[in-house]
Amino acid sequence: MAVNATNQHVYASTQSTGEIAELGYEPAPYHPIEDVGVLHAISQPETHSYADFQSTPDGRFAAFASAVSLTGYENLGHSEVFRYDSEGGAIECASCGTTLAPAKTDTGLSPYGLNLTDDGRVFFTSAEGLVLSDTNQRLDAYEWEGGNAVGKISTGRSSYDSRLLSVSANGVDAFFFTRDVLVPEDENGGAVKVYDAREGGGYPQTNAAPPCVASDECHGPGTPQPPPPNINSLTGAGEQPGTAPASAGKKCRKGFVKKHGRCVKTHGKQKRHHRKRGSR
């Protein structure tokens, strides 16, 4: 047997007649593998990459990313996150826009941890505004529960990207990277940190008093009104008939004389009587 190096034809002789047969050559069609998980399984068989393929412990659900439009959504060649349910064999797109608007960016699984919970919920990072409150056109962490039930984990209003780190198997804790300051205890400013969006969690917060704008806003609460001064005044129903007046035992001040137990003002000067000195 011989091979022509130019046209790749193969020449072989038959045992019965000794004739030489020429066999043609046709190259096999090339079909590139679209699933990134399969490519990594071939080139990195000993490396566990969470972004390739994830499944639940019971084997019912599986999550993976693909650029193939498996559900008919117009992804325009961009990667989307899908979930496979072995009970019925349904494949759903977790990251496809609910408004059916064509995709503009790639969406994939986190390479650092879990994206799939035991009950089949899918968490991922996307730059698509999948809910109306996502207005920053940046990467944000999302949660998908099936159908059109999708909600964001990060704020969707930050000037910087936020990315999913991992989610707990029961879905209670969703960890994500962000530069936002989401609690008063965060004193790191715009540095990247990890937050836990915990189901039923959070911190009790007290809103700080706003700074004063005008001087009359900073005085605080007013002081209580003081009691009336004690001026030793007498109060009562008045003098009863047949009783001595209240001023009976008191001396009259200058210019007043006591008359019938009362102090009355004098009219004119009193005459003074002087004894004349006489001789004895």
Between 182 and 202, residue with greater pLDDT: 182
Q: Alpha-carbon distance 146 to 153, whole Å?
A: 16
Three-class secondary structure of residue 216 per DSSP: helix
Burial 230-250 (b: 16+ CB within 10 A, else e): eeeeeeeeeeeeeeeeeeeee
| Structural domain that includes position 171 | 48-198
Q: Among all chains, which residue has been given the structure tokens 């590139």? A: 32
In a domain, 230, yes or no: no
pLDDT surpassing 80 at residue 69: yes
Question: What mean pLDDT do residues 266-270 have?
Answer: 59
262, part of any domain: no
Check pLDDT > 90 for residue 62.
yes
pLDDT at 1 over 70: no
Please report which confidence band the pLDDT of residue 205 belongs to, taking 50, 70 and 90 as the band edges.
low
When comparing pLDDT for 94 and 211, which is higher?
A: 94
Confidence class of residue 7 from pLDDT cuts 50, 70 and 90? confident
pLDDT tens-digit map of 243-266: 555 545 567 777 777 777 778 777
The pLDDT score that the predictor gives to residue 138 is 92
Average model confidence (pLDDT) across the chain: 79
User: Is 259 inside a domain boundary?
Assistant: no
Reply yes or no on whether the pLDDT at 214 is more than 70. Answer: no
pLDDT of 215 higher than 80:
no
* Residue 31, domain member (yes or no): no
Question: 149 versus 13: which is more confidently predicted?
Answer: 149
- Cα–Cα distance between 185 and 73 in angstroms, integer? 43
Question: Does any domain span residue 86?
Answer: yes
Most confident of 97-101, 136-140, 181-185, 214-218: 136-140
The answer as to whether 237 is a domain residue is: no
- Distance CA(140)–CA(123), nearest Å, equals 11
- Flag whether 132 is in a domain: yes
Q: Tell me if 34 is assigned to some domain.
A: no
Mean pLDDT comparison of 6-15, 24-33, 202-211, highest-scoring range: 6-15
Residue 49 has pLDDT above 90, yes or no: no
Token pair of 23, please? 């066999």
Q: Do the Cβ atoms of 115 and 175 come closer than 8 Å?
A: no
| Average pLDDT of the residues in 28-52 | 65
Cβ-Cβ contacts under 8 Å for 125 (sequence gap 6 or more): 107, 108, 110, 139, 140, 141, 142, 162, 163, 164
Q: pLDDT tens across 84-115, in order?
A: 999 989 999 999 988 888 888 999 888 888 99
When pLDDT is averaged across residues 7-16 and rounded to a whole number, the result is: 71
Q: Is the pLDDT of residue 126 over 50?
A: yes
Number of folded domains that form the chain: 1
